[in-house]
Structure 1
Amino acid sequence: MMHPYADAMEQSTPPSETQPPDGDFATGAWAGWGNGDLKEGVYEDGEGEIEGEEEGEDITDEELEENLGRIEGLLGNKNFLSQLEANEKIQQEFLMEFDIYLGMRPPEKMDNAFHFMARKRFPSPFLIRHMLSNHKKRMDDKDDAQRRPLTLSIEKNNEVFITTVLESQYDDADLERILGLKSSDAGNGIHKAIRDGLSPKLTIDLINKVSNKVLKDVDGEGCTPLHRAVEYKRCTEAQLNVVKALLERGDSALDKRNKAGLSIYQYHFSTRPKESSTAAKAFPNPKVRPDRATTSSQPQNPSQLVGGKIGDEMGKKALYEKEDIKKKGEEAHNGFSLDQRPNMGPGPGFRRTPTFKQEDETEYGVPKPLINTNNQANISRKTTSAPQPATTKTQLEILKETPPTASKVTRNSNRKKWSKTTTRKAVKDVPPVSKVFADEIANEVKLQYLRSTFTNDQRNHDTAVEFLYPDNQMKHICFNLLQNYKPMSKKSLTVGSYSRFEFDTALQFVAVGPIAIEKQGEPVASQRQRRDMLTLFEWLKDKKVNNIVKVVVNDHKDPFHSDKAIIDALKQFNIEILDWSKPDLCPETIRAACNDVRELYLSWSGLNGMLLAWGGTDGLANLPNLTDVYLRQISNSESEEWTIEKLNDFEKRLKNTRDWLRAKQKAETLNSQSEDQLTDLPRITVHRPKVQPKVDNQPIADGVGQEQNKQTPIKDHQWLEYMDRFSSGIFTLPPDEEYIKSVPNLPAELRRDVRICLIDDGVDILHKSITERIEDGGRAFGAYTRDEYRGMARPFYNSTTNHGTLMANMMVRVCPFAKIASYRLDTRRGEDNRVHFTAKSAADALEYAIKQDFDIISMSWTVREETGPEEDNTADITRIKNALREATAKKKLVFCSAPDTGDISPDELSSYFPVGSGIQELFRIGAAKADNTPWPQLVKGDEVIQNNKSLKSGSSIATALAAGLAALMIHVVRMAAIRTYELKKENEIEANLIKLISLKTIKSPGTMRKTFDSMTTDKMYVHVWGNFYRKGNELKAADDAEDSKAEKWRIIAELARDIVSSQNTDQ
């Protein structure tokens, strides 16, 4: 006859075995099942023994295996489980019968009770709690797939099991240890929870139980749990909370890159669907987990998941087939398919056979236990070592004799068939993946990294750029005008140099000095109503900026910005840190401008009235996210004792007001019976002024003066006069944008201007002589070290000493057609009191530059190798040398200057970089003033500028002029090649025609060096009064020709042929 609990045990018993009438545990339903190989022996020393007990010493493997089989059978009976949770007497009887076996380590290849319940859809919370209190060591047992019970429950998405463990008194240290264990390439328990689709709430609960060490661990592909959490296919509304939990628990994972070299932010975008993708794959319900062995991060098509519907019938079919294959795979684990397996009972021989899924019936939901199950010490284990038959039937036995009311699952009907109806239901439960949620998740990751740059010494603007962008796709993440003390026009923002800036939607910081923005055609604002910052922030909003982590505005001088201007400027952004230095900033203004601010820097005049306003019921305590207030005292008319007393009162008042608001909020939430979770107001810390008040009227100290605010006059020189004459002669000729568009079939390389990377101390892009030639491709390397500006980058669009501005001016003067990208280096003042660049920033800049599409790299400076105990930059010098080799291998034209130290020995030269690197392909330029110098080329530079201070030197000027000259020659050849295409002669075979190959030729270091050599006297001094002087005169004379334009094109073609003539061309 069929065993009455076959459906609950998810197996039918062998026909030859029937249930005895007495239903006793030892001789009833579970007796005599199976004949599997039983290992003889006694379990000792933790193998089968309960810790601290001796009763297990008399239990054999056969007895243990038999009773574990009986336990598994009972735990598969939903009706029994329901009674076990609710009935204290049944609980006691069950433990009297089986407790000793629950605490013993099972025989090899057999699971313990934790494993049984981890697999079941309806485990017993009572039994889980009891075992955690009395047999917690069994949580470390592994099944044959090396899975511990908690890991198995995560894989099976067993929410009841996981919730019970989390709500029990199971030790947090043990929980973290188990969750931190890695299984092959699948990662640790948090990886598994995310990848196997555990509910977001439970996933967050698990995350909150582990340390940062577990969260930064990586799986076989080098991905942290955060990498997996941000995969596009998981980007649902609820997943945002999972990502936030990972970041809040510990964001060290943000410093990890996977094996493909992708940061978490970059990895997220790599998993997004390609725009051209037409794939129609459905994402299975997390309850019906995708194949756990799948490690692909290929995103799903979000259009198929919106509303939880799949329109493509092929998608449905694939889903059915995938689930069916998965089931067959599980069945094959035991060597049989479900339809082929012989009748087997769940006795001792039934080991780790996957159980059948039961129907989705809800009448057997597991109720809460009626008794406290954590105190089971009252049940004596002494009486459980040798269970005796009962003389009267217990409630447990009666229950065993009562057939369950659930529908029976026979061998031929127990497989749950996938129909269109059930499939639609499963897919409907899938939280929709959406680009909206994906954008929110990506933004949260980005903002967390940006805000951490102000607290984590290992992170700053440079590392943030590397975290966010691939090498050739950078956007600006800050805007720094702290050093700008001269007026700027609104036009410079809207149509000038700054208009070309492309910003990220989230900025690390915006920092502005006390600048005035002049508006053409508008009346001058009243001295009492400054609104300059409103213009600036409106411009940023037009640039699609939404979030700004930190805002710094130097507004400490009268006239100040009006409160309304401050509100209008800031209210359109999400701002987290505000440092607007207007004295005694009104708390109402702060709330209206940026209510979500976390940190607040306040300039205090010393008035007690402001402390009263800031600490009152309408003050700073109303800012819901505020955690820190930094006071900056700008005057001190009172005694120190009085000031301290009032600051004490302010802190107490602010705390009391915050506490009152917190209590009021809780009361209102309870009265409203809102289901929304209450977010507690954080505690506010007040940071008092560290020193006596002092008004800081100076810009941020960079180790140098304010020469950047002066436009250095340049003395004309004959060398430059010749180049001026030539450049002006071709200035009116194309190629301009319209001309380029008009030439058909023009190759892309001929469409772009010559590009120079100027590595220096920044460039003032508003300088009238160069503003149109500075491109939006600059970057700063190195950050401020002052605490209030820590992590912020210096601006590449401003110059510390005006050196970079001067170098750019020289290049543009020689070649007005070149585009210049400014790479700003970090500076320090050396023992000689001169400003020097740091080797690290030089290495960073050079490594980044060679990855970009520059034709020329110009470095008008040297850094010296240091090996002393106080400073050792040898590692960065090695990086510089390696980067130079890579640059020349990529056929970049690299120009560097000689140290202006007069006669220098080769040994001493080798300590200066980049010039002393020994790489022959470099263009090493010296100023034409010193005798007996070793430089291959000398360019007139000593008399170009009178004031030879700081970084500015003759060799620096000479290097910039040489780089400009190389750019001009490339431009001339490019013009001639474009003319060939315009005349449609590109396919003609004519020796004198300049074509695309000619441009490629002149860009090669070998050809350019031969061209320079042909222009030098005694292989040393580069002069331009040969071809350029003559052609300049011809171009000037061509202005009076009948067809001036055609004549000038002829002159350009001749010069281009001379530049790439056979004697200068590499074969």
Structure 2
Amino acid sequence: MLSGGNGDISAQNDDGDDDGTDDETVELDLADSWKLLLLKRPADGEVWDFTAPDSLKAFFDEWGYCFKRTVGKEGNILHRLLLNCEEGDIDRMTHLRDAVTTIVQRHPFLLWKSRTRHDDDSPLWLAIKQKEATMVMAFMEGLKRSNRRQASEVKTLLKQPVDPERRSMLQWAIEKNLEEDAIQAMLSHVSDDTLLVQDMNGRTALHAVLAYGDCTTDRVRTVQQMILQSSNALGVVDKLGRSIYAYHLWTQKQWLERKRLLEEKAEKEEKIKVSNKYPDRDLSEIDPKSASKIVMAQTSLDKNIDPKRALSQQSDSKNEITKGGLDNQTEINYGGKSGLQADRTLRSNQGFRREPPPEPTPIVRRTSKLQDQTDRTPPSLNEKDERKIAEQKRKAQSRRRRNAEENAQAAEKNQKRKDEQEKAKAREEAKRHPTILEANSQTVRLEIKLRCMRTLSPKETARILYGRNSEERQICFDFPGRPTVRLEAFRMSFQSVKFDEVLQYVAFPSVRFERKTSDEEVSSKDGLGRKEMIDIFEWLRKAKKVKRIVKVIVNDFEKPAHSDRAIVESLKGFRVEELQWLKTDLDPETILNVSDDIRKLRLRWSGSNTALRAWSDPYGLRKLQHLDTIQLELEGDEVLESYDDTRENIIKFETRMNLPPDTKIDENKLSEGDVSTPKKITVKVPAMTTFGRSAARIALTDIDTNHMHVENHKWLETMDSFREEMIPVWKEAQKRAIKDSSKELFAQPITVALIDDGVDVLEPSLQGKLIDGKTLSYDLPLGNEPTEQREHAFWESSGGHGTVMANMIFRVCPMARLYVIRMETHIDGENRSRITAHSAAEAINAAVDKGVNIISMSWTISQNEDSKDSGLQQAIDRACEKNILMFASSSDGGHFRDDSWPISLKRDAFFRIGAAKADGKPFDWAGPVNLLDYTFPGVDVIKAHSRSPQKSDSKYHDKLERMTTETGSSVATALAAGTAAMVLMCVRIAAIDSLENKRGVTQTVLNEMQKRNNMAVALERLGVKLGDNRFIEVWQTLDTRDWPNFKEKRPAAKMEMVAAKTIPLIPSQVMGT
């Protein structure tokens, strides 16, 4: 038996009616200690009020010692509370929350103690399993108040697997939709390791919390809290390679598909209902949305009853029952109660059905057996017997009254519970309305993007957001350096580039954008400040649909710089968080007008103390509530003050920046010691650096090509002429295909993936010819600042090599389209650019995911131990499975056996290309000819479209002059890829023509020509025959001077002739298909 300071635990009968029994004391053993929480206070007989601190303290002073014990298999007090809650003995735990919190605060070890060593049923797990959110929150609050080392035990408990799928306790709670408040309380006791725990499908708690169908407004707060707790978990992928972002998009797709199927099912069911009522009516005439109304109206008509009248009669019947009688001679009385209470009792007996009750029958009042006996009692009974019988009648009536009251209360309680459940269900459905889910999904996606962009490198951010998605959008815009660019050329060059609506950074070097000026004279009131960046950011905002930019970098120190108004207009609405607009001594008011969200500033500083005082003014940068870092770029050549004075000015500046805005400052007493610790705002003054470029990146841009003697090739002359003839023919074919939907696929351009060091999209000959691109090349992160990493964009060629390769492909087949992939490179000991095998594998996978027709690889990789597990072999296998034609270079290593990658990994998967001289003989360094598939021109090749650079662009002019010729197998490979693209395009022309002229070139033929062996036959037939040099003499087939009257024909007639010349190139077994 338990006893407290005031005596034994007892439960007395508080009913006002005395039933003749004596008061009894109920003794409780330790296993029933949970009932202590339900005791009434001896002083006033009221239930303990645990929300009042004094009452809570008084209770635990008296009974607190009872709650830390464990009784065998019964478990501890928390077990008993939860088990009885499950059994319905305790319907609500809300009034016990503060008491439970105090128990856990005093004895936190109770949370992780199982009832036996063999059970995994800690109170915390039981509460989560039973979805007792109130208890879970009480547990977490008590744990928070305990401040004991045992709290680490709960962190371990929350990450342990709890089911066969090996989900952690936290993940289980999320997937089973425990209330969000409880989950958020649990998160305060979750370690980083818990968020990294993966189940048997590779998913984490972050995957679980991002399920689209559960994306309620409350869930959004949970997601925000979770992604803030750990950046490491953001990059975890499941067994299918889905990051948390990709998983969210996948669940969205699944949810929308289920919704569509359910709507279709409901629509069919409604039509069936209507068709049953109208068997002779055409179902197509019936609106599914009005089907149910039609059925209800017809039902009423069948009964010859007006629907409103029927409802009125049902209501009247119910009212008659509620009023307590059906005739004037009968009274309905339950235990002496009538009216509302009788109605409740009646509804209880009817099982709480919501439909109108059946036609009531007269209820005859019956008396109890005891009353019947009393009525027959002989009048000769003495007075004592009469009193005894009267007492028995009174007690019987009292019992009936109590039973009726209890039944009515139970019925009311059950009905209330059902109503609450229905309301809760309705609330949950409202939370998951499609419009709300989509809005919350957009919020969640934005939160993930911003968290990644604020904390991770661009490379890692791109992997999480897009992975190997072929529809990848660019998350950075790093514009290549060039002194002057025409605005129209800029827009044309980047028209195919797709940006995410949130950019991690936008960077512009010192560049001028020229635009067409109107005849109107510019007003002198406009000032000399530049304004062209307004057009660039407006282009991002409107044409590219960019909504937010995390970081902005603009090198604006050349005179004249942009005006303050132009800076504000350029960046308004982008909510910039890190501003690096390098205009000397930028006005603080301009910075404030750019964005309220600025966290980091990089300012170009002249060394003037006036600028420091303006920046640190109470109405200056101190008004930025989120600002935490200022980096000053000191103009070393222009600083007028001494080193010591400059350093002192910086210390005072940092001190002022860390004072509250309204603090009065005494400059004479201001010192470094006045800065609070820790500092809210840190001021950094590193040495002046180059514009955002690492040493590796600078080295890459200095790679040049050799200037060689220029000589014409007969092969090039033939292909140049054929190319010009084919441009109008292809346009004619496309025009025909567009008119017929069955031909549209035939008119799609051939896509070539160029895997290289990027291309210069501003090159006029390349504008409008890129479908997309992807970069795998990044700077190394600087120190511990991954967000300082810069992207090497695919639209910039580090050494010009990729730009030349693109020109070679388009020289042969300008109708093709490029998918540019910039590989990761590094500088070796000889200051040469080298390619990594892992990057090559990623590039080939990206090309496969994009669904290209051809891959051009004008490079080789030396085998080494580090490259064995790169995934390159698997990537090549994927490309083979998709029948992608792959062209790769020989190593130009001379006459020795070449085992370089990628060719040696799967010899029969590639076309191995070597360089030939103008006379068709192999280049001296092309390697053994018998190991080559073909040789193509590769020595002293003339660039097709030499650019006429602007006079002011002398640096770029010199670069183009060095790129005028290229030598080696890399050029030959690009020309080979272009030739294959031309062959495929001619086959498509033949297919379009075949639909009218029945030449037999079908979609199946097009597919078969994507296979290596069939393309090999076509290439060899171009030159009629191959000699020992493996050189394809294309003029034997493609010299249009030998085609009768070809030049004089119209495009439609030329198209027929091209089709006729193409069919002999196709293997006969392919045409037979």
Return the TM-score normalized by structure 2: 0.72
* Cα 1:818–1:105 shift into 2, 3 Å: same
Matched, 1:890 2:862: no
8 Å Cα contact 1:783/1:790 also seen in 2: no
Corresponding residue for 1:475?
Answer: 473
* Cα 1:571–1:1054 shift into 2, 3 Å: same
Corresponding residue for 1:490?
Answer: 487
Report which stretch shifted further, 187-196 or 896-905.
187-196
TM-aligned CA deviation for residue 225 of structure 1: 2.4
Structure 1 counterpart of 2:987, one-letter code: V
* Cα 1:995–1:137 shift into 2, 3 Å: closer
8 Å Cα contact 2:500/2:546 also seen in 1: yes
Distance 1:93 1:404 in 2: 34
Distance 2:619 2:55 in 1: 60
Distance 1:461 1:858 in 2: 24
Equivalent residue in structure 2 for 1:969, among 983, 989, 1009: 983
Matched, 1:782 2:743: no
TM-aligned CA deviation for residue 759 of structure 1: 0.3
* Cα 1:654–1:130 shift into 2, 3 Å: closer
Corresponding residue for 2:287?
Answer: none
8 Å Cα contact 2:236/2:243 also seen in 1: yes
Distance 1:760 1:1057 in 2: 33
Return the TM-score normalized by structure 1: 0.72
Corresponding residue for 1:390?
Answer: none
Corresponding residue for 2:915?
Answer: 927
Corresponding residue for 1:432?
Answer: 431
8 Å Cα contact 1:554/1:581 also seen in 2: yes
1:302-317 alignment runs, 5 A limit: none
TM-aligned CA deviation for residue 405 of structure 1: 15
Distance 2:107 2:626 in 1: 44
Corresponding residue for 1:448?
Answer: 451
* Cα 1:549–1:708 shift into 2, 3 Å: farther
Matched, 1:551 2:552: yes
* Cα 1:277–1:19 shift into 2, 3 Å: farther
Corresponding residue for 1:1047?
Answer: 1053
* Cα 1:131–1:559 shift into 2, 3 Å: same
Corresponding residue for 1:1060?
Answer: 1066
Distance 1:610 1:278 in 2: 61
Equivalent residue in structure 2 for 1:746, among 723, 742, 747: 742
Distance 2:53 2:503 in 1: 61
TM-aligned CA deviation for residue 195 of structure 1: 3.7
1:713-862 alignment runs, 5 A limit: 716-735=712-731, 739-747=735-743, 749-775=745-771, 777-785=772-780, 787=782, 790-862=788-860
Equivalent residue in structure 1 for 2:1009, among 985, 1002, 1008: 1002
Equivalent residue in structure 2 for 1:686, among 682, 686, 689: 682
TM-aligned CA deviation for residue 617 of structure 1: 0.5
1:172-571 alignment runs, 5 A limit: 172-184=151-163, 185=165, 187-219=167-199, 221-272=201-252, 273-274=255-256, 277-278=259-260, 415-416=414-415, 423-424=422-423, 427-428=426-427, 432-433=431-432, 434=436, 435-454=438-457, 460-461=458-459, 463-468=461-466, 471-481=469-479, 483-494=480-491, 496-522=492-518, 528-542=528-542, 543-571=544-572
Structure 2 counterpart of 1:926, one-letter code: G
* Cα 1:660–1:232 shift into 2, 3 Å: farther
TM-aligned CA deviation for residue 447 of structure 1: 1.5
Distance 1:714 1:450 in 2: 48
Corresponding residue for 2:893?
Answer: 901
Aligned with 1:507: secondary structure? strand
| 1:971-999 deviations in Å (ceiling 9; x for gaps) | 11110111122x2x55xxxxx53332332
* Cα 1:844–1:462 shift into 2, 3 Å: farther
Corresponding residue for 1:939?
Answer: 936
* Cα 1:977–1:714 shift into 2, 3 Å: farther
Distance 1:192 1:537 in 2: 46
8 Å Cα contact 2:776/2:824 also seen in 1: yes
Distance 1:762 1:225 in 2: 39
| 1:739-773 deviations in Å (ceiling 9; x for gaps) | 15544242554131111000001111221222232
Structure 2 counterpart of 1:964, one-letter code: G
Corresponding residue for 1:103?
Answer: 68
TM-aligned CA deviation for residue 209 of structure 1: 2.5
Aligned with 1:851: secondary structure? helix
Distance 1:90 1:791 in 2: 56
TM-aligned CA deviation for residue 715 of structure 1: 6.0
| 1:448-504 deviations in Å (ceiling 9; x for gaps) | 1122224xxxxx3365245335622212222110x321422222354x231222221
8 Å Cα contact 2:616/2:653 also seen in 1: yes
Corresponding residue for 1:875?
Answer: 869
8 Å Cα contact 1:530/1:559 also seen in 2: yes
Aligned with 1:277: secondary structure? helix
Greater relative contact order, per chain length (Cα 8 Å cut-off, separation 6+) = 1
* Long gaps (5+) in structure 2: 1-9, 14-18, 264-292, 297-351, 353-401, 665-675, 917-922, 944-960
Aligned with 1:769: secondary structure? helix
Distance 2:803 2:661 in 1: 51
TM-aligned CA deviation for residue 696 of structure 1: 5.3
TM-aligned CA deviation for residue 156 of structure 1: 4.5
Distance 2:768 2:656 in 1: 55
| 1:571-599 deviations in Å (ceiling 9; x for gaps) | 12121211111111111111101221111
* Long gaps (5+) in structure 1: 1-8, 13-17, 31-62, 282-310, 315-358, 360-402, 455-459, 662-679, 987-991
Distance 2:136 2:708 in 1: 71
Distance 1:86 1:406 in 2: 32
* Cα 1:697–1:70 shift into 2, 3 Å: closer
Aligned with 2:471: secondary structure? coil
Aligned with 2:499: secondary structure? coil
TM-aligned CA deviation for residue 1017 of structure 1: 2.9
Aligned with 1:274: secondary structure? helix
Distance 1:753 1:814 in 2: 14
* Cα 1:280–1:811 shift into 2, 3 Å: closer
Corresponding residue for 2:587?
Answer: 586
Distance 2:709 2:744 in 1: 38
Equivalent residue in structure 1 for 2:113, among 141, 165, 168: 141
1:577-726 alignment runs, 5 A limit: 577-635=578-636, 636-657=639-660, 660=663, 684-691=680-687, 693=688, 701-705=697-701, 716-726=712-722
* Cα 1:937–1:608 shift into 2, 3 Å: same
Distance 2:490 2:651 in 1: 45
Aligned with 1:262: secondary structure? coil
8 Å Cα contact 2:804/2:963 also seen in 1: no
Aligned with 1:926: secondary structure? strand
Aligned with 1:971: secondary structure? helix
Q: Which structure has the greater CA radius of gyration?
A: 2
8 Å Cα contact 1:476/1:502 also seen in 2: yes
Aligned with 2:777: secondary structure? coil
Equivalent residue in structure 1 for 2:993, among 966, 969, 979: 979
Structure 1 counterpart of 2:256, one-letter code: K
Structure with more helix by fraction: 2
Corresponding residue for 2:301?
Answer: none
